[in-house]
Every structure is written in C-alpha cells, then in structure tokens.
C-alpha cells in the first residue's frame, strides 16, 4: 500500500463484496480495500482458491476476509451468497462485479456452450449479482463497479463472446445508474489495461513475443498491475467520485486509441 494515493482509513468500516475476488485483479481489489479499512467478502466457484486467498490476505494485511463458494451463472448460488452476507453484515456499501471468463476463438468455430459460458458469467452474472445485492445496497446508498474491457465499444475479433457480453455490461451499467440513482446508488465501470494475471496468461496472452507486441501497443504506462487497477476501483468508490455515475473509467494507457491488438493476435491462432 506504500504507493497508494488514498488515506489508509478511506473505507474504514465499509462492507465490500467482490465477485471473482480470489485470484488475479479481483485479489488485488480485495487487498486494496482491506488495506484501506474495509471489511471484504469474496466469492468464486473454487473453494480451494478462496481458502488460499483468505490465508494470503491474513498473512499480508493481518485481516480476515469472509468468503463463500458462488457460481454467478446459477441464481440459487447467488441467492445463497447474498443471504450469507445479509446474515453476516445486514447490508453492503460496495459491490465489484469482477467475475469473468474468456478465451480466443473465431465465431465460426465457437460452440453454443462456449458462447453461453462466457456471456452467462460476464453479462448475466453481472445482472444476477447486482439485482440480488440491490436490497443490501439501497439501505444506505452505495457504489457498484463493473469490470469491462476496451474492446467492448468496438470490434472484439476472436473474443466475440466476451466483447458482446462486456458491451452489454456497459449498457447495463448506465441503465442501473439511472434507475438506482434515487436510492443513492452509483454504478460505474472500470476498463483495465493489460494485466498479466495467471488467467490471462493461460487463456489469452501466454507467449513472450505477443506480450512484447502488446507492450509496444500501449502509448503510456505499459502493461499494468492489479495494484494499479485497484487504485482506479478505489477512486470510483470514494467520496471524490460522488458525482460520477454511469461512466466507464478507462485505465489502459491509451491502448484503445491505437487499435485492437486482439485482431492480429487472434489471427495467429488460425495459422
């Protein structure tokens, strides 16, 4: 937390729910909120990863997080997790919809199951979790941050399932921002730069040559870190952003202005 621009006590006593919070950027968000005073609850499909994340956070921050296995694709699973939170905390102040899935595949080869798997996690999952959390958020007002991608407002070659889903999330973000404003709930999205998490390396960018190509395509800042992206999420949830809702904070070093590198990368998978 040495590099944080925010006060240590910024989220003191706040209750934060992060989906996909056990690994990658989600774990970075989890740590950042803990280090700034929040109580954090995380959920994902893998109990082993949740347990490891809990132990890691306790070792690194001295704080204990709450967690529960949850599959955002299943309404009953989401309901169980929200009921657990309600029993533990009564309500929440912040929701970060970070659960995601992605892999390279041209549309002509994409199966119905492949399409549905990604859309169900990214778009439908964001809808399910947000709707189920609404009663817990509207008590005092709060903040929702949805994690998107910079191909959501353009073409998404070879990741069409994810692109369509993320585009839907942006529209849903703006819709909820208007519908839930009367309850004092702000809804924004954060578009991260390239973060080489284990999931990204396994499913998208694992080759050093491709990573170097990606690096060269970023005008400023280079490949980012989970810690840097966590700072953006903290900002959107902070009092400094109290008049910001329905927006997408793009933190990709200007890469989206240059073009979508997934086109050239994806073509490599067809050769």
Q: Phi and psi of 2, rounded to 5°?
A: -60, -30
Q: Phi and psi of 258, rounded to 5°?
A: -80, -40
Name the strands in the sheet holding 94-97, side by side, starting at the edge strand that comes first in the sequence: 66-69, 39-44, 15-19, 94-97, 142-147, 185-192, 248-251
Who's near 1: CB < 8 A, 6+ residues apart?
Answer: 8, 32, 35, 36
CA dist 100 and 8 (Å) reads 29
Distances (CA, A) of 62 to 35, 37, 58, 65, 139: 9, 11, 5, 10, 29
**How many degrees, rounded to 5, is the angle at CA 75 between CA 16 and CA 15?**
10
CA dist 101 and 103 (Å) reads 7
Strand, helix or coil for residue 22: coil
Catalytic residue among 151, 183, 235, 263: 151
151 is catalytic: yes
* Chain centre distance of CA 182: 25
Give the active site residues. Answer: 151
């Amino acid at each position: 937390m040495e590099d944080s621009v925010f006060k240590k006590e910024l989220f003191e006593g706040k209750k934060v729910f992060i989906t996909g919070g056990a690994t990658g950027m989600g774990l970075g968000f989890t740590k950042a909120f803990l280090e700034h005073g929040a109580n954090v609850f995380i959920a994902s499909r893998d109990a082993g990863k949740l347990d490891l994340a809990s132990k890691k956070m306790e070792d690194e921050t001295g704080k204990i997080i709450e967690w529960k296995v949850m599959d955002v694709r299943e309404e009953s699973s989401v309901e169980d997790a929200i009921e657990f939170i309600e029993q533990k905390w009564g309500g929440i102040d912040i929701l970060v919809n970070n659960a995601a899935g992605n892999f390279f595949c041209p549309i002509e080869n994409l199966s119905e199951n492949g399409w549905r798997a990604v859309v169900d996690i990214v778009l439908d999952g964001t809808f399910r979790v947000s709707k189920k959390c609404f009663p817990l958020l509207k008590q005092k007002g709060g903040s929702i941050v949805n994690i998107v991608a910079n191909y959501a407002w353009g073409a998404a070659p070879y990741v069409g399932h994810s692109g369509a889903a993320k585009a839907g999330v942006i529209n849903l973000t703006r819709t909820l921002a208007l519908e839930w404003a009367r309850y004092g709930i702000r809804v924004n999205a954060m578009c991260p730069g390239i973060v080489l998490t284990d999931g990204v390396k396994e499913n998208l960018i694992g080759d050093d040559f491709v990573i170097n190509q990606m690096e060269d395509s970023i005008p400023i800042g280079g490949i980012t870190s989970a810690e840097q992206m966590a700072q953006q999420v903290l900002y959107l949830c902070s009092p400094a952003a109290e008049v910001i809702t329905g927006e997408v904070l793009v933190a990709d070093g200007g890469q989206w202005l240059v073009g979508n590198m997934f086109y050239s990368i994806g073509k490599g998978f067809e050769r």
